[in-house]
Each structure stands twice: as C-alpha cells, then as structure tokens.
Structure 1
Amino acid sequence: MGNRQRIAAAVLAVTALVLGPAQATADPLVRQVRGSAAAKALARVQYLDRAAPLARAVAAEYGIPASVTAGQSILESSWGQSRLAVNDLNYFGFKCTSAGPGPFAVGCHDYPTTECTPDCHQVQALFRVYDSMQASFRDYGRVLSTSKNYIAALPLAHDPNAYVTEVARKYATDPLYAGKVIRIMQENDLYRLDAPLP
C-alpha cells in the first residue's frame, strides 16, 4: 500500500471511529471533510516527495541538515502553498537585498509581510523570485553556509534542533520560529532525511 492509500485509509478509519462506519461512508458532509482532509494529507506527501531530495542535495553540497532545510521550507512556504512559493518558487521567504536578488534568483517581487521588531506589524518587502524549486533550495544552502549571520550554526549541523535554534536568531523576527520548525521536524519525522540513503 502506497503513502496515498495509507493516508486515505487512515482518514476513513478515524471518521468511522468517531461517527460509526455507516455514517462515515454515507454522510455527504463527512465525505466532503474526509475528501478535503485526504487531499491536504496527499498534498503534504507530494510536497515532501519533491522537497526531500532537494533537502538532501543541500545537505551534501552545503552541510546543512536536510531535516532543517525541509522543515524551514514547510514553515516558510506552507507546504508549498503560499503565494510566494506558488507565484515565485520562493520556498524560504528570502528577500532581495540592496545588491539585488543574488546569484540564484531571477528577480524580485513586492509583497506585504509581517515583521516583529519586537512588536509585530505589516510592511512591504521585496522577495526573491526563482525559476525553479531547486534554485530556491540551492540559494538557501548558499546563504546559510556563507552568511556571517549563520556562521555560529555551522558547528551544530550534527544536531538539527540546535542548528535551527541558532539559525533562527537571525533568520526570522518571530521569537517562536525555532520551536515551530522543530515541531514540524518532529511531527513529520524529518530527521529521517539526515540518515544516509541505503
């Protein structure tokens, strides 16, 4: 049984436990909820199918834990569903700098965003635009491995939780950022991405 079938079976089993088997399959609202829950779960599986090899490639090229790369991409892009990810293939929320979009991005796009400094407020910012998901992931690897903002995280690469905790100090203005990424890594067993491939 593949991942998609396991997800559909799990959704049906939970619905049947709550409502009883007959109602779980007969009620149109239940079918709709079950369908949307299954669709959401399937979209997440599909996102990880695409992101996992890219996260492992970032680990191989730049020494960043694949679990952290995948976890940050999930948080930053809402499982690849954010406007920034869909429109501009930006999976990490990278902004353009005064020097421009950088070596991997192909342009900049203006979006509203929330900054917490320390109070949270809306601002307009220019975000990087990429021509592929791979370019977004490679840019992430380049930035985290070369920027002085993240140099203190490099020796912690063997410990994904410590690594992302250190990265979060400069990566985001959200004081809960590291905890959010760690929770995503735990809930989705992303640490498995750090293990060598068989």
Structure 2
Amino acid sequence: MNQLPQKGRYTPRRKTRRKKSRNKNSTTYILLAIVAVFVISFFGYRRYVQYKSETQVEMVQQEHVAFVKKVAPYAVVLGKEYGVLPSITIAQAILESNWGNSSLASQYNNYFGIKGENPTNTKVLQTKEYTDGQWVTINGRFRVYSDFRESMKDHTKLLVNGTTWNSQQYKQVLQSKDYIEAAIALQTDGYATDPGYTSKIIRIIQKYDLKKYDEGIK
C-alpha cells in the first residue's frame, strides 16, 4: 500500500554544493579585497615616506641657504675691514653653531664657541673637546652676545689680535692666500681640538660654494 505524503509536509532539496560554491566565491572576494587594500596601503605609504623625506631634505636645504644669506654679507664686511676670508668665517659659523641651531647659538648668539671669563657676559655650558686621542665632555664658560653680528666681529678680532697668551697665534690664518691654506692654519694654530677640523671646513666651503665671497678680499 502506497503512503501518501502528509499534508503540509515539505522536504527541501539539498543545496549543499551551491552553498559551498557561494562561500568559496565570497572568501575569494574578501581575500582579493584584503590584498588590494594592502597593496594600495603599502605603495601609498611608501610614496608618503618618500614625499616626507623629500620635503624634509628640501626644508633643510632652504634652511642652509637662509643661514648663509644671513651671515655672508657681514662676513664680507669684516673681511674687507680685517682681512679674514669670508668663506672661513661663514664655514666656521656653520660648523661651530650647527647652522645656528646649537644652544649656544640659538640662545646666546655665540656662533663660534668663543669662551670668556667674565661671569656677567658668559654662560657655563657643556662642550666636547678632543683630548689625548678621545672626546671628553667638559664645562666651559662661553661668551653671550645680544646679536649674531657681535659674535662674528668678536671672532674676527680673535683671529686678528690672537689670544691673551699669544697675540700672534692666528697669524698664519691671516696671511693665508686662499681658504685651503687658512683652514689648515686654523688647525695648526690651535683654533680647535677636533683632528678633522680642517677637512670639515674645506668640505663646507666647497659644498656651498663659499669661495665666491672671498673675491676682492686679498
């Protein structure tokens, strides 16, 4: 005897295979979307880093150009008056003050690390000096200036008049005919303890074409 299906009873068809297919397609789309987002993000980030790096380099270059333009005119004035090569003055200002960014330069307008003894116009700060083949940190008393031009003029007078213990200490610097001779003389005359001082000064002058400011000085 055949049994009739019960009224209202429904036996659904199996769609397992279609569900698996749909699930597989959905997973693929999600993975592709994730990969696409990753690729876009990665290359976008690389471009951002590159842009940021290029922007920072450009800003530094602009800062350097601005600093040279700031000190060069007065360096030429001092050069004509005292005979010190402007390229040497500018290069030393760059090196000694880190483009005007050192604490001594930015806070006290001392662009050349010039020391003093009078407590009323000096400030005690830490500095590094090369002694016995190594760098050591010491406390030094440095001159404080109201304007960077005062620092530049004091630096020029130091080269012209020498130190309190040797008035002829920088005679070779003054007698030098070009910036290379003057840079070497700074080292031999004892202006700085850094063994690489001469090469640093020459490199700065050549990189930023500071020689052009020496025209007509000697």
Same fold (TM over 0.5): yes
Task: Name 2:174's counterpart in structure 1.
Answer: 154
Task: Name 2:123's counterpart in structure 1.
Answer: 109
Task: Name 2:25's counterpart in structure 1.
Answer: none
Unaligned runs of 5+ in 1: 1-22
Q: Deviation of residue 55 (structure 1)? A: 1.1
Matched, 1:59 2:74: no
Report 1:151-190 matches (<5 A). Answer: 151-156=171-176, 158-169=177-188, 170-190=190-210
User: 2 CA distance for matches of 1:113 and 1:132?
Assistant: 22
User: 1 CA distance for matches of 2:153 and 2:106?
Assistant: 18
Amino acid of the structure 2 residue aligned with 1:107: N
Q: Deviation of residue 152 (structure 1)? A: 2.6
User: 1 CA distance for matches of 2:175 and 2:216?
Assistant: 19
Task: Name 1:4's counterpart in structure 2.
Answer: none
Q: What are the Cα deviations for residues 4-31 of structure 1, in whole angstroms up to 9, with x where unaligned?
A: xxxxxxxxxxxxxxxxxxx89x922222
Q: CA RMSD in A?
A: 2.1
Unaligned runs of 5+ in 2: 1-42, 163-167
Q: Deviation of residue 168 (structure 1)? A: 2.1
Report 1:86-105 matches (<5 A). Answer: 86-97=106-117, 100=118
Amino acid of the structure 1 residue aligned with 2:149: Q
Task: Name 1:6's counterpart in structure 2.
Answer: none
User: 2 CA distance for matches of 1:44 and 1:152?
Assistant: 29
The TM-score normalised by the length of structure 2 is 0.72
Matched, 1:131 2:146: yes
User: 1 CA distance for matches of 2:184 and 2:121?
Assistant: 30
Q: How many residues align?
A: 168
Identity %: 31
Q: Deviation of residue 108 (structure 1)? A: 0.7
Q: Deviation of residue 150 (structure 1)? A: 0.6
Q: Hey, which bits of structure 1, 4+ residues long, moved more than 2 A?
A: none
Q: Deviation of residue 96 (structure 1)? A: 1.1
Of stretches 134-143 and 30-39 in structure 1, the one that deviates more from structure 2 is: 30-39
Amino acid of the structure 2 residue aligned with 1:172: A
The structure 1 residue matched to 2:137, chosen from 114, 122, 131, is 122
Asked which structure has the greater CA Rg, the reply is 2
Matched, 1:75 2:95: yes
Q: What are the Cα deviations for residues 88-130 of structure 1, in whole angstroms up to 9, with x where unaligned?
A: 1111111114xx38xxxx7111111111122321101011111
Task: Name 1:143's counterpart in structure 2.
Answer: 158
Q: Deviation of residue 189 (structure 1)? A: 0.8
The TM-score normalised by the length of structure 1 is 0.79
